[in-house]
Amino acid sequence: MGSAVAEALAVSGASVALLDRDADQLAVVAKELTEAGRRATAFPVDVTSSEEVDAVVEEVEDLLGPVDRLVNAAGVLRTGRIDRFTDEDWQTTFAVNTSGVFHVSRAVVRRMMPRRRGALVTIASNAAGTARMEMAAYAASKAAVSTFTKCLGLESAEYGIRCNVVAPGSTSTPMLTSLWSEEAAARASIEGVPEAFRVGIPLGRVARPRDVANAVLFLLSDEAAHITMQHLTVDGGAALGA
């Protein structure tokens, strides 16, 4: 999803700063975009470290100029029943999915406030509002950042900064296919898993990363100039409108 959002922003003409701790994959994405004539620069960073985040955001602004738009897309998925879930898996999930969003958002919004402009989108999940078997940590971390982003939107509104949430459902990414084989993951997502109390996808297909990117792009754009503190679900109806 992060790559798709980066590509969509770059195609729209933005100069994109790519942040991730996987330096090798980050370099691949940056190379693909620059070879296509887009502007993209890789900045390896571990978002769980507030010190690293503060330093890299300063570096981004020094090299590329003021950050006007931010997308929080980094995330991890650790699955398992609650009674068997490890402390390490719980802590890692929240360190990336929740604290990472806090660190990056704080560092960027601090700089946006004096400029009195900016737009931010956090990619959460439809699991934030729908209970899922063996996904308690992931769902809880996404519920936390959804509410955090809305609170940030409330606090920063007086500075002209908009903060919104995009909540994808099952999307064709390595995170989804890590649960099953690609074919099995798609089939289970579309048809549902009754024994896990999970409904399917009414629209009958798994989302493409570009579907999520399009929603993010809209909320960052001037077309959404009067939209803030909102939660846009992109899941083909899987959460039944919840």
Q: Under CATH, which architecture does the 66-234 domain have?
A: 3-Layer(aba) Sandwich (3.40)
The pLDDT, as a whole number, for residue 189 is 87
The residue type found at 5 is V
Can 138 be counted among the known catalytic residues?
yes
Predicted confidence (pLDDT) per residue in 140-151, tens digit: 999 999 999 999
The pLDDT, as a whole number, for residue 210 is 97
Predicted confidence (pLDDT) per residue in 28-75, tens digit: 999 999 999 999 999 999 999 999 999 999 999 999 999 999 999 999
Q: Is 204 left (phi over 0), alpha (psi -120 to 50) or beta?
A: left
Quote the CA–CA distance of 140 and 90 in Å, as a whole number: 10
Band of residue 225 on the pLDDT scale cut at 50, 70, 90: very high
| 138, 161, 186, 200: the active-site residue | 138
Pairing of strands 15-20, 69-72: unpaired
Predicted confidence (pLDDT) per residue in 73-131, tens digit: 999 999 999 999 999 999 999 999 999 999 999 999 999 999 999 999 999 999 999 99
What residue spans define the domains of the chain?
66-234
Predicted confidence (pLDDT) per residue in 157-211, tens digit: 999 999 999 999 999 887 776 666 667 777 888 999 899 898 999 999 999 999 9
Q: Which residues pair with 72 in a beta bridge?
A: 122
